[in-house]
A and B are shown apart, each in its own frame.
Chain A
Amino acid sequence: MTDALPAAFAEIADDFHALGGKDRLQLLLEFSQSLPALPERYAEHPELLEPVPECQSPIFLITEVDGTGRDATARLFFSAPPEAPTTRGFASILAEALDGRTVGEVLDTPEAVTGELGLAEVVSPLRLNGMAGMLVRIKRQIRAKAAL
């Protein structure tokens, strides 16, 4: 199943699938702890970030595109409070997989990817909707910013 995933996600999916339920949660927790802090230009201007209401917990995101077209580089930034570790974990996975990739790679990411990471059993499919919501918003912003 995981070999059909985009390269960006395949490695992460393999890591999760190699673990049992409790350890998958621990790995998600590690992701949540490694979510990069917002760069200063956004930390001081939270109003620039877009909320993701599909998540039950507050999360905000913003993207940047360096250049135009599919070959431009996409940057992703997230903000979520420490009391929302699951949401932070989702954001951190998306950041690790997609931050710094080309616009084309981000846009080609199938939305179903969030369901292929082996997380549904440990966090529930309903909660995973939040991650899909983030991905939809990321792609929407990136498409507009790359002028595609």
Chain B
Amino acid sequence: MTVPVDPTPALQEYAHPEKLVTTQWLADTLGAAGSGNLVVVESDEDVLLYETGHIPGSVKIDWHLDLNDQVTRDYVDGEGFAKLMDASGITRETTVVVYGDKSNWWAAYALWVFELFGHPDVRLLDGGRAAWQAEGRELTTSTDAVPAATSGYPVIEREDAPIRAFREDVLDFLGGQLVDVRSPQEFSGERTHMPDYPQEGTVRGGHIPSARSVPWARAAAEDGRFKSRTDLEAIYQGELGFDTSAPVIAYCRIGERSAHTWFALTYLLGFENVRNYDGSWTEWGNAVRLPIAVGTEPGEVPTR
């Protein structure tokens, strides 16, 4: 790690405090002469937000345009990622701090993709863009301070298995610690299509049998920062009775909101084995021969 971790006491209660930084720490670090090898990345739902003003020196990485492969429904490969890193001024030694809109849900997704490539040091700005802005910190439309392109980011073969689940994995996992982080309406399968209105792209409403419902935003406080460890434990260990040593799979609609939950479970609560099923409901809800459950209860695991 080339850049020291944020020593803020409030972060130390989490299982892996080195994965989070506070807005104050980031402002101080950016302001300090020779802040070391640090690159700030903005990753938003809204593709234009960066252009309206961003943290000075930050680079924009868009999940859809930059991180997704444009042909296969998958993430970019090692070469694509290396190219993106070079263009963003990020080397393998760079400490990356990601922030974004919507309580960091897209930022967490970008961070998760960085980890598929095993980038050694990538952290999340607690509270994201909203917290930075609410504190009146500097945003700029200038790209003058954006890091110059670098070269030589190694071509790393993406390692999906530890943190990414595919539909076959989920099918074998029914009855395990499976968490659906979409809204209660999406979970129950209740839908409100009116005539002539475009469909959202999913044929069936409902959830994966045996999944528990915990909307992702429950992990976030009102200001967009993560809730305290105690509050998070009350939800995932208390309410759900999840065991940190047993595997978890989280999913949502396309895997972005569940990346936020994946982050909270892995790094804030110290769950040992959490995977994000990014195929999520758009795959499962449409897939031939896959069972679903409808209603507010998790539902039974079907016998196959």
Report which of A82, A124, A129, A140 forms a contact with B47, defined as CB distance below 8 A: A124
With an 8 A cutoff between CB atoms, is B4 at the interface?
no
Number of interface residues of B (CB under 8 A): 15
Q: Does B51 contact A140, Cβ atoms closer than 8 Å? A: no
The interface residues of chain A lying within 8 Å CB-to-CB of B64 are 124, 126-127
Q: Quick one: closest A residue to B192, CB to CB?
A: A53
Chain B window 188-215, contacts with chain A (Cβ cutoff 8 Å), 1 for yes, 0 for no:
0000000011101000000000000000
The CA-CA distance from A82 to B64 in the complex, in Å, is: 21
B45 at the A/B interface (Cβ < 8 Å)?
yes
Interface membership of chain A positions 13-36, coded 1 if the CB is closer than 8 angstroms to chain B and 0 otherwise: 000000000000110110010000
Within 8 A of B (CB), among A82-97: 82-87, 89
B52 touches A29 (CB 8 A): yes
* CB <8 Å contact, A29 and B51: yes
- The 8 Å CB contact of B198, one of A56, A85, A86, A133, is A133
- Is B65 in contact with A56, judged by CB distance below 8 angstroms? no
Q: How far is the CA of A147 from the CA of B51 in the complex (A)?
A: 42
Measured between C-beta atoms, what is the minimum distance from A59 to chain B in Å? 12
Q: 1/0 per position for B52-65, CB-CB distance to A under 8 A?
A: 10000000001011
CB nearest to A127 among chain B residues: B47
**A-B contacts, CB under 8 A, total:** 53
- Rounded to whole angstroms, the CA-CA distance of A126 and B253 in the bound complex is 13
- B48 and A140 form a contact (CB under 8 A): no
A residues in contact with B101, CB < 8 Å: 83
- Bin the interface of chain A by size: 20 to 34
Contact of A25 among B51, B196, B198, B200 (CB under 8 A): B51
Assess the B46–A136 pair: CB atoms within 8 A.
no
- Could you tell me the distance between the alpha carbons of A56 and B48 in the complex, rounded to whole angstroms? 13
Q: Given the known A-B contacts A57-B45, A83-B46, A127-B64, are A136 and B197 also in contact in the complex, defined by CB atoms under 8 Å?
A: yes
* Pair B46/A85 contact, Cβ less than 8 Å: yes
13 contacts between A and B (CB under 8 A): A25-B47, A25-B51, A28-B48, A54-B198, A54-B200, A83-B46, A86-B46, A122-B65, A124-B65, A127-B64, A129-B198, A133-B198, A136-B196
B-side interface residues toward A, CB under 8 Å? 45-49, 51-52, 62, 64-65, 101, 196-198, 200
Nearest 3 pairs between A and B by C-beta? A85-B48, A124-B64, A86-B48
Residues of A whose CB lies within 8 Å of any CB of B are 25-26, 28-29, 32, 53-54, 56-57, 82-87, 89, 122-124, 126-127, 129, 132-133, 136-137, 140
- New A-B contacts (6) at CB < 8 Å, excluding given A29-B51, A56-B46, A85-B46: A56-B45, A57-B45, A57-B46, A82-B52, A87-B46, A122-B65
